[in-house]
């Protein structure tokens, strides 16, 4: 078993690779932060559905059903971009929360109120670590 140094980057890469391969479903080792990110992606309409499987491996598994346009076969997710890296963490305060594509995309931010989108962080007036951009 290989040790992953950046599990969030691994999560994003697995989803990105599945989209490029036009896969319907992608399996990802679970963690609490990945589960929260997956819930946000579903909430915002970037993925069709997800299922948390317990007992698979140490921490379980996340099965994500990816969303594609039925006519054009284009994925709902155009890009997944890791912002804060283990070597260089990116934090923002309430006033400097980033806007992704002028509000068309979302920034996933880890705050004291949990893992939330940039819009929710602005409403709650909290800052935190900018995990990634999704658009």
* Helices and strands, number each (H, E), in the chain: 3, 8
Q: Is residue 93 part of a domain?
A: yes
Q: 0.85 cut: is pTM over it?
A: yes
In percent, how much of the chain has pLDDT > 70?
Answer: 98
Number of domains present in the structure of the chain:
2
Q: Is residue 36 part of a domain?
A: yes
Q: In the structure, what pLDDT confidence band is assigned to residue 68 with cuts at 50, 70 and 90?
A: very high
Q: Which of 21, 36, 64 is the last residue of a domain?
A: 64
User: Do residues 48 and 82 both lie within one domain?
Assistant: no
Looking at residue 4, what is its pLDDT? 76
Which structural domain range is residue 56 located in? 5-64
| Mean pLDDT, residues 44-58 taken together | 90
Residue 84 pLDDT > 90, yes or no?
Answer: yes
Q: Which of 17, 37, 64 is the last residue of a domain?
A: 64
Mean pLDDT (the chain) is: 94
User: Do residues 12 and 60 both lie within one domain?
Assistant: yes
Distance CA 16, CA 110 (A): 21
Residue 3 pLDDT > 80, yes or no?
Answer: no
| Mean pLDDT, residues 100-129 taken together | 96
CATH for 125: 3.30.1490.10
Helix (H, G, I), strand (E, B) or coil at 119: helix
In percent, how much of the chain has pLDDT > 90?
Answer: 91
Which segments within 1-66 are labelled E, that is strand? 25-29, 47-53, 61-66
């Amino acid at each position: 078993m290989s040790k992953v140094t950046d599990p969030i980057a691994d999560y994003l890469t697995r989803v990105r690779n599945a989209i490029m391969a036009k896969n319907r479903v992608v399996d990802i080792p679970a963690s609490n932060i990945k589960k929260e990110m997956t819930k946000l992606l579903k909430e915002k309409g970037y993925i069709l559905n997800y299922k948390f499987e317990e007992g698979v491996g140490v921490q379980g598994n996340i099965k994500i059903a990816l969303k594609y346009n039925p006519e054009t076969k284009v994925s709902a997710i155009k890009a997944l971009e890791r912002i804060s890296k283990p070597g260089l963490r990116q934090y923002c305060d309430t006033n400097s929360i980033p806007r992704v594509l002028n509000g068309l995309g979302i920034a996933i931010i880890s705050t004291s109120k949990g893992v939330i989108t940039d819009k929710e962080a602005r409403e709650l007036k909290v800052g935190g670590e900018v995990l990634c951009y999704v658009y």
